Amino acid sequence: MDLALQLLFTGIGIGAVYALVALGFVLIFRATNVVNFAQGEFSMVAAYLMVVGIEAGLPYWAAFIAALLGMALLGAIFNLGVYYPLRHRTYLPVIIATIGASILLANSVLAIYGPQPQVLEGWFETPGIQVGPVYLDSQYLLIIGVTICLVIFNFWFFEKTLLGKKLQATSQDKEMASLLGISVSTMIMITFIYSAVLGGLAGILVAPVLFVSIQMGSTIALKAFAATIIGGFGDVAGAIIGGLALGVIETFGAAYISVPYKDGFAFLVLVAFLIFRPQGIFGERVAEKA
Amino acid sequence: MPLLEIRNLVVRYGEIEALRGVTFSVEEGQVVTLLGANGAGKSTTLRAISGLAKPTSGDILFDGKSIAGLGPEAIVRMGISHVPEGRRVFPGLTVKENIMLGASNRRASTSEISREADAMFDLFPDIRKFTNALGWTLSGGQLQMVAVARGLMAKPRLLLLDEPSLGLAPVIVQAVFKIISEIRRNTTVLLVEQNARMGLSVADYGYVLETGRIVLGGKPDELWGNEAIRAAYLGGHAKASA
């Protein structure tokens, strides 16, 4: 039982990272009808930006803010360079462009930093605290705390502000949004910046737990993608719950069944969902929002 | 000077010439209706005016200024609001939110827009009780009310209405046209209708479109009086869809 509680905590912590990246997937998908295959690279680039900032002697918080600003800029450039020129084409050229951008980002970082993984320290000096039988790792606590704040912010932003409603309107019917005077290109720009920052935040938060490596982006992206399928593609709540569920499932799977197959459990669940419930947990609601 | 002047407008979709030189005008304060069969180019005319379709040639003058080729976001800011075919109410947003977004073309605070949206329910009392219902839950008539209310939130000088009666039960059509006759007190309206009888009942002037050309224009009673026209474009459709 103690072990189960410990695993639940760790699972939710790692699942929160998947949830943040999955949220980025969903927001871009809803705004552009395209899956952004470079979403994972946003996490990877942000982790490297963080390493650069720390190496340059910035305090942790300053490096953190600088990295997020860098991600906002990357999101804007990504929109202008990858999505915007192809926005009137079908989804296929756009998807291929995001795959291309993902390869470009990974190899640019590889060219600068080499294949050697980097180490990023956690935010806190204290490694963690013991609460009863469960050891709460400080970095996982931070991840969970930030994710909770972001989920609340996300809800407030999309449900309670007029700008959030304009973003939703744009994702539901671009032509009608433009007829009302909503600047569709601005809304899509905001979506890309926001999603890049979300992905970046996930990367920075998870970096002290994993190593900072070129491959971390694709690993996180695959898990986050699986999370969006499990939650119901295109659904915000589904992405978050799918991410958390996936984190918990793979942590338990690793502990009770097999450690080497840890990554395999995520995909086993993904395949099971694709066969038995392709619409995901919140599938029906997607149809309503489509 | 007319509020809206269309000069020799040609619109092509690829190989297809949807409009082949359309010329007409709308005076300020009027309700003008465009009549014609399916595929005659009525919707394309509205889409060209609101910027959704790019004119191949010809000109569109609004208040004396050319707006041909401008984007929809720019055109709605100038005061032309387009309520398109199919209502296009955002399914995942509430009625109130849909209506509030109609003010996206002008600068106003959220609380101001919220107050204006509430006031809109005085004109559309039938949808007041659906204020917080999501768009997809509404019926066709309710959607049409929301779409028109949203279009009016732009405070347009010219309102473009595309087939407001399409797919609605006769009693709902009556309600929609009653609203159009209210709107006309403050706003110029260009109305596209297949239901010629309803269109002419509220209009000051009507034009008949046929395969991308205006073939006839006149006051409602003149158009009704023309036997050949009545048989070809008006009577038949009025019976079929009323």
pLDDT tens readout for residues B1-46: 899 999 999 999 888 889 999 999 999 999 999 998 888 899 999 9
Query: Are the beta carbons of A27 and A192 closer than 8 angstroms?
Result: no
The confidence score (pLDDT) of residue B242 equals 36
Q: Are the beta carbons of B104 and A180 separated by less than 8 Å?
A: yes
Q: Are the beta carbons of B84 and A183 separated by less than 8 Å?
A: no
The confidence score (pLDDT) of residue A19 equals 93
Residue A133 maps to a domain: yes
The continuous run of DSSP H or E covering A136 comes out as: strand A134-137
Name the residue of chain B whose CA is nearest to A185's CA: B73
Q: Which of A117, A177, A95 is nearest to B104 (CA)?
A: A177
Shortest CA gap B74–chain A (Å):
7
Residue A128 maps to a domain: yes
Longest dimension (CA), chain B: 54
Please report, in angstroms and rounded to a whole number, the separation of the first and last CA atoms in chain A: 42
Q: What is the pLDDT of residues B32-41, one digit of tens each?
A: 999 988 888 9
Give the strand order in the sheet containing B57-62.
B16-26, B4-13, B57-62, B65-66
| B47 interaction partners in chain A (CB closer than 8 Å) | none
| A289 interaction partners in chain B (CB closer than 8 Å) | 91-92
Which residues, including other chains, have CB under 8 Å from residue A192's CB and lie 6 or more apart?
A28, A75, A76, A78, A79, A83
User: Which amino acid, residue B109?
Assistant: S
Shortest CA gap A180–chain B (Å):
6
Q: Which of B217, B73, B213 is nearest to B203 (CA)?
A: B217
- Mean pLDDT to the nearest integer, B184-207: 90
Residue A226 maps to a domain: yes
Local confidence band at B219 (pLDDT 50, 70, 90 cut-offs): very high
Paired tokens of A7: 């695993």
Q: Which one of A168, A176, A182 has the shortest CB-CB distance to B84?
A: A176
Which residues, including other chains, have CB under 8 Å from residue A276's CB and lie 6 or more apart?
none
Which of A180, A183, A187, A285 best probes binding to B when mutated, by most B CB atoms within 10 angstroms? A180
The confidence score (pLDDT) of residue B234 equals 58
Q: Are the beta carbons of B91 and A288 separated by less than 8 Å?
A: yes
The count of structural domains within chain A is 1
Q: Are the beta carbons of B91 and A172 separated by less than 8 Å?
A: yes
- What is the phi/psi pair of residue A69, to 5°? -65, -40
Beta-carbon count within 10 A of B152 CB:
23
Q: Does residue B177 have a pLDDT over 50?
A: yes
| A165 interaction partners in chain B (CB closer than 8 Å) | 93, 97, 100-101
Which of B52, B85, B101 best probes binding to A when mutated, by most A CB atoms within 10 angstroms? B101
Residue A290 maps to a domain: no
Shortest CA gap B104–chain A (Å):
5
Shortest CA gap A176–chain B (Å):
7
Strands B4-13 and B16-26: antiparallel
Q: Following DSSP, what letter does each residue of chain B receive, concatenated?
A: --SEEEEEEEEEETTEEEEEEEEEEE-TT-EEEEE--TTSSHHHHHHHHHTSS--SEEEEEETTEE-TT--HHHHHHHTEEEE-TT----TTSBHHHHHHHTTTTS---HHHHHHHHHHHHHH-GGGGGGTTSBGGGS-HHHHHHHHHHHHHTT--SEEEEE-TTTT--HHHHHHHHHHHHHHTTTSEEEEEES-HHHHHHH-SEEEEEETTEEEEEE-HHHHHH-HHHIIIIIIHHHHHH-
Name the residue of chain B whose CA is nearest to A285's CA: B92
Predicted ipTM beyond 0.95? no
Residue A49 maps to a domain: yes
- Mean pLDDT to the nearest integer, B177-204: 89
Under-50 pLDDT residues of chain A: 285-290
- What is the phi/psi pair of residue B23, to 5°? -130, 125
Name the residue of chain A whose CA is nearest to B105's CA: A181
A131 in helix, strand or coil? Answer: strand
Helix A91-113 crosses helix A39-55 at what angle (to 10 degrees)? 20
Q: How far is CA B130 from the centre of its chain?
A: 23
Whole-number Å distance between alpha carbons of B92 and A166: 12
- B160-to-A84, B86, B185 alpha-carbon distances in Å: 30, 13, 15
The confidence score (pLDDT) of residue A148 equals 94
Q: Which of B14, B15, B86 is nearest to B46 (CA)?
A: B86
Residue A152 maps to a domain: yes
The confidence score (pLDDT) of residue B12 equals 93
- What is the phi/psi pair of residue B60, to 5°? -125, 120
Angle ∠(A30,A33,A38) on CA atoms, nearest 5: 90
Residue A119 maps to a domain: yes
B175 burial level (CB within 10 Å; 0-12, 13-18, 19+): middle
> Which of these ranges, A192-201, B185-194, B231-240, has the smallest mean pLDDT?
B231-240
Name the residue of chain A whose CA is nearest to B99's CA: A180
Shortest CA gap B90–chain A (Å):
6
Buried b or exposed e, range A155-180, using 16+ CB within 10 angstroms? eeebeeebebbbbbbbbbbbebbbbb
User: What count of CB pairs under 8 Å joins A to B?
Assistant: 71
Which of B85, B89, B93, B104 best probes binding to A when mutated, by most A CB atoms within 10 angstroms? B104
Q: Are the beta carbons of A290 and B154 separated by less than 8 Å?
A: no
Residue B73 vs residue B169, higher pLDDT: B73
Can you give the residue range of the structural domain that contains A216? 2-285
Query: Are the beta carbons of B217 and B50 closer than 8 angstroms?
Result: no
The confidence score (pLDDT) of residue A202 equals 92
Residue A76 vs residue B242, higher pLDDT: A76
Shortest CA gap B30–chain A (Å):
22
Which of B83, B85, B90 best probes binding to A when mutated, by most A CB atoms within 10 angstroms? B90
Q: Are the beta carbons of A166 and B82 separated by less than 8 Å?
A: no
Name the residue of chain A whose CA is nearest to B113's CA: A162
Strands B57-62 and B65-66: antiparallel
What is the model's pTM?
0.87
Whole-number Å distance between alpha carbons of B63 and B42: 21
Query: Are the beta carbons of B10 and B57 closer than 8 angstroms?
Result: yes
Helix A2-32 crosses helix A39-55 at what angle (to 10 degrees)? 110
| B92 interaction partners in chain A (CB closer than 8 Å) | 168, 172, 288-289
Q: Which of B102, B100, B122 is nearest to B113 (CA)?
A: B100
CATH number at residue A219: 1.10.3470
Query: Which residues of chain B are at the A interface, by a Cβ-Cβ cutoff of 8 Å?
Result: 50, 52, 71-73, 76-77, 81-82, 84, 88, 90-93, 97, 100-102, 104-106, 110, 113, 134, 136, 150, 154
Q: Which of B232, B123, B117 is nearest to B175 (CA)?
A: B123
